[in-house]
Every structure is written in structure tokens, then in C-alpha cells.
Amino acid sequence: MGQNNLTNLPLLPNALVSLHCAKNNVSNLTSLPNTLIDLYCSVNTLSVLPTLPNGLNELTAESNQLTNLPSLPTALKTLRCNSNYITNLPTLNAGLLFLSCGNNLLTNLPILPNSLTTLYCAQNDLVSLPTLPQSLTDLDCKQNLLTQLPGLPNAIQSLSCSYNNINCFLTFPSSLTTIEIDNNYATCLPNYLPDMDLATLAIPLCSAGNANGCPVSGGIIGYVYTDKNSNCLKDSGDIELKNIPVKIYDGLNNLLGQTYSAINGLYYFPQTFNTYNVVVDTTNIPFTQQCIYPGLDSTVTVGANGGAINFNLICKPSFDLGIQAIGHTQIVFPGEAHTINISAGLTHLYCTSNISGTVTFTISGPVTYFSPAPGALTPAILGNVYTYSVGDFSTINNINDFRLLFITNPIATAGNSITIVANIDPIIGDNDLSNNTSTHSYLVYNSHDPNIKEVYPIDVQPGFNDWLTYSIHFQNTGNAPAFNIRLADTLDNMLDLETFQVINYSHQNIIDLTGNILNVRFPNIMLPDSTSNPSGSIGYIQYRIKPKATWAAPYKIKNTAYIYFDYNSPIVTNSTYNSILVPTGLNNQTEALAALYPNPTNGTFTIELNSKEKQLLQVFDITGNEVLSQTIENGKSIVDANHLAAGIYNISIKR
């Protein structure tokens, strides 16, 4: 019944579940049926609402003439009452998730329920906010009369508090991906976050004796930059370097965290009183230190005013060409097209120009070439070899130029492997040859979950100390754009965190690795939904990491990712497993008593005993640990050992 110039509503049926009467001239609502779950009555001339049904889940009553609201039902999850004349809100029910009450005449808010995830209270006359629940992820309180904010929840993702009277801010949680704090009275900040804009990052940290008496910020701050006048000081004319990895260690050389320099070259660690070692990681990037002090690492003692150290880098001599990443997007399904992405070129465009050469890759597997991807370069093709001749690598878009569309063959089956071997030349004068060649494989699927995790290689030889490359794919299959996306990934304890590197991604993001907890945030990604824009609804990130030298069979490295689209529950990806290959087989030490087949086995085997007595079968790995046991009845049993890694095992049979 929306947009019909209605002034009154008819008598509503007793079984009505949802009522939509927005954008009319309705001034009065009749009594509402008890069955009603959703009520949408925005943009009318309502001055009062009737008693709300106990089962109402959502109330949207924006842009009316309401001065108050009736008691809220206990089932209510969403309340939107923006742009009215409300001076006080009723008690908020315990299960409320979403509250939008902006552009009213509120001077205070009631106690917020512990369930609340979103609070929009902009454009009121609020002088303070109540305690914020730990569940809150989104807060918009701009254009009020606030002089301070309460403590922010640890999981908050979006904060907008511009145009208030705030003198001092409390510490900003690292979970924040959107921060708007302009037009307040604060002249210093408690800490920095990588996703702050340049204007916010220009505000100094709070030191002792600051103008408003704000608490002194701690932590370690500094810049990664190139010194233009070679005076070993950070001056206004120097060049700030962004996306340079910086690590922090404790006094026992334990890695505490890793961050990346922000758009203005700034990095920040919130560590408190102690002595730390801060290191700029130039592995696989063409930089080295320019000044003897601090070099690429520095011991920093955090006192009352924190610690500060800048890192001055210059380009290494010669150049570095590399294959940064190989991956794919879209479904790898028989008869469907997908895009192969090769990220290749100079590892840092700032350092080198006028280098010419070639990028070549060979593709094997059940795929047929279709065309270059939109906006990509066109290669020369000879069989399954694709070659790009590049006149100047500094003019190349490393991420977008080497992308090709392939059709998965209709006769392909699930599990078929597609392998890409990429090379980049020249190698003469290249200061790092380890990244000039790269290999990557991925599989064909018969059914497809667009939110998946992949790893290459899967099974490795004993003593493997090379890269494990992980790809996390995600797709917005909802019915509206996704504003913010977060990926959470707990890295296996057998992965060497020192070697972690992000190598490719579809959208700009913020990386935080604290301990073995990886968070990747895509703020303001505005990822379209798959119905309106199938190809634009897809994203991914790719990183690589090496296993620890202590990794041994039969331990399998396991990883699972959690994908958060805005305020929805996480989508849990499949788990990836990496195994060490050793000669397959079971060492049968009881041949006189039993027969075991097949041997070697792929996971399931049959054992037959000479005796019909009930006996116990035990399986041990090569270190002597029991990994499986089961009872054998009537002299014969089928044993399922599929959960065990490939390897040699010993069996024991006991009465």
C-alpha cells in the first residue's frame, strides 16, 4: 500500500503478518493484529502509534510527526524512528539488534541492550552516551553535543562521531575499519590505525602536557620513508613509503605482531612499558637501509610518552622483477569461464624504470583459452604457452595486465588439476632470482561454494621448507551491496609466522596479524550482490607462509577462514589440509597371525585373523604413538584409516 496518497487504512485482517504503508498521508493507524511481524509506516503524518503486537520483529516509522513511542515488544529486533520529534525513547527490549533514532530531539538514550550491534543516533542533542555493549559493531553519533565517548567495544568496526565537542578520545580498537572524527576539539590522538585518512594521521599523538589534558598515549610510532636530502632525518620533503611490513618482537625475540606502513608511511604499535625490537622486513622488496642508525631494526624502550623510531630506506641497486602471485577467480566448473590472474612485474615501481623483458606462462589441464580479461594485455600464443613482451615494466599494471579467460572443458571432472608455470625475464641484473619462476595448481569442482579457501601445494615431500600459498575467495550472494567485509583466519601452529606475506588481493584492505590470528578488513568495499553484478560480486586475498622446520608426519596443517559480510554471522569456509608424503604402506608385523589387504592402502583396509576370538587392533605411527584402535570381532574387520596422513604405520594385535 506504499505511495498511494492514502489518508486512512482499512480494517486490517486478523492474520496479517506484514504491513507496508510508507509514503502516504496516513495520520492514524487502527489497532494492529497480534500476528503482525513487520510494520513499515515511514513518510506519513503519524503523531502517535498504537499498541505494538508482542511478536513484532521490525518497526520502521521514519519521517513522521511522532513525539514518543509506545512500549516496545520483547520480540523486536530492528527499530528505525529517524526524523521525528521524539524527546525520549522507551525502555529498549533485551533482544534489540538495530537502533536508528537519528534526527530527533533526544538529549539522552536509555540503557542499551547487550545484543545491540548497530546504533545510529546522529543529529540529536545528546550530551553523553550510555555504556556501549560489547556486541556493538557500528556507531554513528555525529552532530550531537558529546564531550566524550564511552569506552569503545573491542569488536567495533565503524565509528562516526564528527561535529561534536569531544576534547579527548579513548584508545581506538584495532578492529575499526571506518573512522570519522573530524570537527571536534581534540588536538591529539591516543593511537593511530592504518585505515585512518591523511588528515586524521596528521593529528599528533597525545604527549604529556597536551592542550586538553588528554591521557598520554603510549606505544611505538614511526615513519618508513626515503630521505631525499640524505640527512638521516624525517623532513617534510621526504617520500613516505606505504605498505612496508614492520614487525615487533619482545626481549626474548618472540614475534608480537606485524603491521604495514599507512598511506603516509606511518606505522604504530600499541605496546606498553617495556623494551622491544622493531624491524622493517625488506624480504622480497627492493629496499635497504640508507643510514647506519637505525638500519633495518632498532631496540625501542616504551616509557610514559611511548617510543618513536623512523626507518629510512633506499632502493637496492639494479632491479627486481618477480612473479608476485598466481590465482583464479569465478567458478572452476565444467563448461564455465573463469579468470586466471598472474601478478607480475617490478616488485616496487618506485625504485626502477626502463626495464624491458617478457612474462611467459604455460597452462596445462582441462581448460581452453577464450580471451584476455577486460582491460588486460593480449599475449602471443603458441600451443599452451602465453608470452607478453614488455617494453617498460614501470608502465605495467602488475595486478590487472596479465589476466586471461579460460573455459573449463565440459568433460572435466571434479578433482582434475589445472597447473600454471610462470616465468619473468630478464634475470641478468635482477637482484632476487628466487621469485622469477612460480608454479600454482588448482582444482575443478562439480559443485561450488563461492566462499572457499584453497592451498597450494597440498601434499609435500619430507623436509619441505618452501611456500604454502593460501587463497580465500568470497562472493556477496545477498540482495544488496556489502559495505564492509572481514576475513578472520587462525593460522596453524606449525606455520612460521615470521615468513607471512600478503601477495595478492582483489580490493584494497587492511592486514593485521597478531599472534597467529589474521584479520583482513575490506572497509567501504561496496561489493555488489551476485544478482545485479555477478562478476563484480567476487573478491579474494592470497597470502603465503612457510611451515616450521619442526613439521613432521603425520601432523596435518589445517586452516579454516571465517568471512563476515557487514553484520551477518560469519560464513565458514572449507578447511584446507597439508600433509607430508612418505612411502605409503602398513608394516605388517603379524603375518603369521593375520592377513591385511590392500597393502599399500589409500586409507581403508581389511584385516583377517587366523583366530575367531575377539581381539584388539592398534595402529602406531613411526614415532610410536597410537593413532587408531578398534576391536576385531569374529576374526575379520574393515578398518577406516582415512583420517591418517600418508605414511608408514605399524600394527599390533592383542587378545
- Are the C-beta atoms of residues 485 and 522 closer than 8 Å to each other? yes
Q: What is the CATH number of the domain that holds 562?
A: 2.60.40.740
More confident residue, 606 or 224: 224
CB proximity list for 264: less than 8 A, separation 6 or greater: 198, 201, 202, 223, 240, 242
Residues 473 and 594 grouped into a single domain: no
Residue 250 belongs to domain spanning: 220-315
pLDDT number for residue 45:
92
| Percent of the chain whose pLDDT exceeds 70 | 94
Residues 442 and 453 grouped into a single domain: no
pLDDT digits (tens, 9 = 90+) for 376-430: 999 999 999 999 999 998 888 888 899 999 999 888 877 788 999 999 998 888 8
pLDDT digits (tens, 9 = 90+) for 215-272: 888 788 889 999 888 898 888 888 888 888 899 999 888 888 888 888 788 888 887 7
Does residue 542 form part of some domain? yes
Q: Which residues partner with 390 through β-bridges?
A: 357
Count of domains for the chain:
4
Residues 236 and 258 grouped into a single domain: yes
DSSP label of 44? S
396, 422, 446 - which closes a domain: 446
Residues 519 and 429 grouped into a single domain: no
Does residue 13 form part of some domain? no
Give which of 481, 469, 495, 491 is closest to 539, Cα–Cα. 481
Does residue 231 form part of some domain? yes
Q: Span 51-66, mean pLDDT?
A: 93
Residues 382 and 282 grouped into a single domain: no
Residues 513 and 413 grouped into a single domain: no
Does residue 570 form part of some domain? yes
Does residue 507 form part of some domain? yes
Q: Is the peptide bond before 554 cis (omega within 30 degrees of 0)?
A: yes
Residues 350 and 421 grouped into a single domain: yes
Position 446 confidence tier, pLDDT thresholds 50, 70, 90: low
- C-alpha cell belonging to residue 79: 527499530
Question: Strand 636-640 vs strand 604-609: parallel, antiparallel, or unpaired?
Answer: antiparallel
| Cα(146)–Cα(435) distance, integer angstroms | 53
The DSSP secondary structure of 104-152, one letter per residue, reads: S--S---PPPTT--EEE--SS--S---PPPTT--EEE--SS--S--PPP
More confident residue, 99 or 602: 99
Q: How many CB atoms lie within 10 A of CB 114?
A: 13
Alpha helices in 455-515 (DSSP H): none
Per-chain mean pLDDT for the chain: 86
Place of cell 626502463: 354
Position 511 confidence tier, pLDDT thresholds 50, 70, 90: confident
Position 4 confidence tier, pLDDT thresholds 50, 70, 90: low
> pLDDT at residue 593 above 70?
no
pLDDT-wise least confident of 3-7, 41-45, 166-170: 3-7
446, 461, 488 - which closes a domain: 446
pLDDT digits (tens, 9 = 90+) for 317-354: 778 888 888 888 877 888 888 899 898 888 776 677 78
- The 3-class SS string of 253-272 reads CCEEEEEECCCCCEEEECCC
Place of cell 514518543: 68
pLDDT number for residue 441:
86
Q: What is the CATH number of the domain that holds 265?
A: 2.60.40.10
446, 480, 509 - which closes a domain: 446
Position 592 confidence tier, pLDDT thresholds 50, 70, 90: very low
Between the CA of residue 86 and those of 61, 68, 83, 124, 591, what are the distances in Å?
12, 5, 9, 10, 85
Q: What is the CATH number of the domain that holds 410?
A: 2.60.40.830
CA 522 to chain centre: 7
pLDDT number for residue 591:
41
pLDDT number for residue 257:
84
Give which of 203, 146, 134, 142 is closest to 175, Cα–Cα. 134
Does residue 32 form part of some domain? no
Does residue 387 form part of some domain? yes
Residues 589 and 568 grouped into a single domain: no
pLDDT number for residue 590:
39
Position 3 confidence tier, pLDDT thresholds 50, 70, 90: low
Strand blocks (E) in 417-494: 417-425, 437-443, 452-456, 459-460, 468-475, 485-490
| Cα(331)–Cα(446) distance, integer angstroms | 10
- Are the C-beta atoms of residues 270 and 218 closer than 8 Å to each other? yes
Residues 419 and 527 grouped into a single domain: no
Between the CA of residue 26 and those of 5, 20, 32, 59, 80, what are the distances in Å?
8, 12, 14, 16, 18
* φ/ψ bin of 451: left (φ > 0), alpha (ψ from -120 to 50), beta (otherwise): beta
- Are the C-beta atoms of residues 560 and 577 closer than 8 Å to each other? no
Q: What is the CATH number of the domain that holds 636?
A: 2.60.40.3080
Residues 245 and 343 grouped into a single domain: no
Residues 375 and 416 grouped into a single domain: yes
More confident residue, 506 or 63: 63
Position 548 confidence tier, pLDDT thresholds 50, 70, 90: very high
Residues 440 and 455 grouped into a single domain: no
Does residue 538 form part of some domain? yes
Q: Span 123-139, mean pLDDT?
A: 94
pTM over 0.95: no
pLDDT number for residue 589:
43
- Are the C-beta atoms of residues 430 and 436 closer than 8 Å to each other? yes
pLDDT number for residue 584:
47
Rounded to the nearest 5 percent, the helix, strand and coil shares of the chain are: 0, 40, 60
> pLDDT at residue 143 above 90?
yes
Q: Span 592-597, mean pLDDT?
A: 65
Q: In the chain, count H helices and then E strands.
A: 1, 45
Q: Is the peptide bond before 70 cis (omega within 30 degrees of 0)?
A: no
